Structure 1
């Protein structure tokens, strides 16, 4: 029996980068969290402590800051591609790079009813994500979002489920359905030429709008059914998206029994339970598009 070193990678996790554009009197802001990971012939660093092929993680952090200035942050997908291409193309030992980016949303402050040119407030919206992989298998881009909290007060059912000796859940045809959605969508083949023309921000807004619409309008028989319709609608709207992976905790809302207080509760007062919760996950994909396992090999796991 031999003991060998398996897959390995290293990088800098969660470098916070805030880029402010001061090109005019009205400033713009992009607030991101960048994680990088490099892959290649780094076994000597593990086995012998030989760092001769190792680009310091501190250098990776500095590169993210420098690229925020030199390349700008037009979109987090574009920024991730620029970084990953640099590490693979300019750093000789590096054979593959994974860049994961979170983006935090800011909204312009209102002063006397008008948007202020250089003041913002942090919103409580979802976190936008992107994960870029550049290696010998090609260039892979995964857009996404996490912690998109959705709730509908009706239009959801759960009945006809399997029962056994331990089942106590009652069927319902009118319930509150809520979740904190995580979604990741993989774009088809990306090249340097095609990536330059992709309207990344518009696609993000469009995908989010489609998923929210499906959640709101579908008479849902189960959260599983809702996820299927979300993913299917996204793929129908965007032919260049190959697959979408959805993860949705079922944020349960239980109706409070007000009878001890002499009150009726016709679906108006609920207890919001934070745990335990059902966790529903699904992948919706095109059957004619090759799988891309390298696209999903994570680093920090933030995107």
Structure 2
């Protein structure tokens, strides 16, 4: 591996020898780039080398295109091309597959007058075959420009294989782009079964007969800098392509949960587009509930008709980064959002500071209406993907646990309520490290205090502003509550 300092200090011949294979059998590009030093980064070097090609006349560009081997061929080619085609599986084609590629490549060359070129890193032989079929339908000028774009991509991949930017001073900047509200629906996904049963919830799994997800995809990497600074879209993956990528991969996903789907898509993205450095995927479930059906003189649950639920929403977030050839999950959490719970009695709020600013009366028995966002993280992120369903924590179970604790607890404050909900969740699911809360107090304002002959009252919506709380409950908190409960039990027995 070489650094930018190494390249900037080389004589012209050494630089030409080092970078001569970046463009197939075209070391003249590396030789000319020597005059454009210093190179400030890998992206700067790539931009300057591709600029040399873009400035060349059309005959020279065509000659460069023709120097590339035909994909799937068994003829002699450069070491880089051999390695790239091997990684895509093109060196191990069955005889029938080889003959198919040979025929299509010949057809392509006869039609356009130059070989089919595709940056194959991260692609399978099926991907390549599909791209070849699709591009046979293009016009010649479109394919000429596309061939150059693919050559630029290949050059970027090859540069990344031999150059390290470690130790360089990089400008820290915000740089990412992506696609939001990517809606995808799938019928007959593999059912989620085998989840751990808990006393507080009847949840036993999901049929996954109809599954919906709203995905936001955000990608980043130094390779995208030229698209911002120079309007150079050579390495840009269109956000429309991101949408199609996500939707089509829902068809090939063989898991059972949104968390697992995000994990699958993140790896497929970074495997397919190796110039991406990082990706953040957010998936919000679009829940559907089975409707009643009257069959054979009996009311049952339909296996075909569902209604879209519009209550609380569950969401998953996953962040992944590339380091060399390794993809690392840097953050993963699941959450349930906008869970709205009201308990009509058994709630108090007393004993708070009273001074010249206080107008709120103390209340020993009030209705309490709370909005909750609850998120949870696993000690081992693999548990989130339901590879082992018994270690997966479902949003439905978190919802039911929150409701149960609210029912059981004589609530002195929202702060204490969310603390005990978190401890209960961690007690039931010790594979989690922590549970975090964002809560809001939406307790109603009283309109009629007393109704003759009834213990009821009349309320209206509260006026803003709303009180809120943020709190994280840890596994250490849950352990302390467990010890306190054990001590109380021993005390009662004594």
Q: Tell me if TM exceeds 0.5.
A: yes
Q: Deviations over 1:96-147 (max 9, x none)?
A: 1111011122111112222222111223331111111112583232111111
Task: Say which is worse superposed, 274-283 or 189-198, in terms of deviation.
Answer: 189-198
Count of aligned pairs between the two proteins = 281
Is the Cα contact below 8 Å between 1:243 and 1:286 reproduced in 2? yes
Shift >3 Å, 4+ stretches:
191-195, 198-203, 262-267
Is the Cα contact below 8 Å between 1:157 and 1:174 reproduced in 2? yes
Q: CA RMSD in A?
A: 2.8
| TM-score under structure 1 length normalisation | 0.83
Is the Cα contact below 8 Å between 2:386 and 2:392 reproduced in 1? no
1:209 to 400, 404, 408: 400
Stretches of structure 2 lacking an aligned partner (at least 5 in a row):
1-170, 191-206, 478-494
Partner SS, residue 68 of structure 1: helix
Q: Deviations over 1:179-238 (max 9, x none)?
A: 121111122232599862245765333322222222221111110111111112222222
Task: Work out the CA distance in 2 between the residues paired with 1:109 and 1:62.
Answer: 31
Task: Work out the CA distance in 2 between the residues paired with 1:96 and 1:238.
Answer: 30
1:19-168, aligned counterparts within 5 Å?
Answer: 19-21=186-188, 28-41=209-222, 42-72=224-254, 74-112=256-294, 113-136=299-322, 138-139=328-329, 140-168=331-359
1:67 offset after TM fit, Å? 0.9
Is the Cα contact below 8 Å between 2:189 and 2:211 reproduced in 1? no
Task: Work out the CA distance in 2 between the residues paired with 1:90 and 1:276.
Answer: 48
Task: Say which is worse superposed, 26-35 or 75-84, in terms of deviation.
Answer: 26-35
1:188 aligns with 2:369: no
Partner SS, residue 153 of structure 1: strand
Is the Cα contact below 8 Å between 2:218 and 2:279 reproduced in 1? yes
Q: Which residue of 1 aligns with 2:462?
A: 273
Is the Cα contact below 8 Å between 1:184 and 1:246 reproduced in 2? yes
Structure 1 residues 277 and 193 mapped into 2: Cα distance closer, same or farther (>3 Å)?
closer
Task: Work out the CA distance in 2 between the residues paired with 1:131 and 1:274.
Answer: 33
* Greater helix content: 2
Looking at both structures, which has the greater relative contact order when contacts are Cα pairs under 8 Å and sequence separation is at least 6? 1
Structure 1 residues 202 and 246 mapped into 2: Cα distance closer, same or farther (>3 Å)?
closer
Is the Cα contact below 8 Å between 1:227 and 1:246 reproduced in 2? yes
Q: Which residue of 2 aligns with 1:295?
A: none
Partner SS, residue 276 of structure 1: coil
Structure 1 residues 243 and 22 mapped into 2: Cα distance closer, same or farther (>3 Å)?
closer
Q: Which protein has the larger Cα radius of gyration, Structure 1 or Structure 2?
A: 2
Partner SS, residue 170 of structure 1: coil
Is the Cα contact below 8 Å between 1:76 and 1:101 reproduced in 2? yes
* Greater strand content: 1
Structure 1 residues 243 and 264 mapped into 2: Cα distance closer, same or farther (>3 Å)?
same
1:8 to 170, 175, 193: 175
Structure 1 residues 5 and 45 mapped into 2: Cα distance closer, same or farther (>3 Å)?
farther
Q: Which residue of 2 aligns with 1:293?
A: none
Task: Work out the CA distance in 2 between the residues paired with 1:238 and 1:36.
Answer: 29
Is the Cα contact below 8 Å between 2:279 and 2:320 reproduced in 1? yes
Structure 1 residues 180 and 27 mapped into 2: Cα distance closer, same or farther (>3 Å)?
closer
Stretches of structure 1 lacking an aligned partner (at least 5 in a row):
289-303
Structure 1 residues 199 and 84 mapped into 2: Cα distance closer, same or farther (>3 Å)?
farther
Partner SS, residue 370 of structure 2: strand
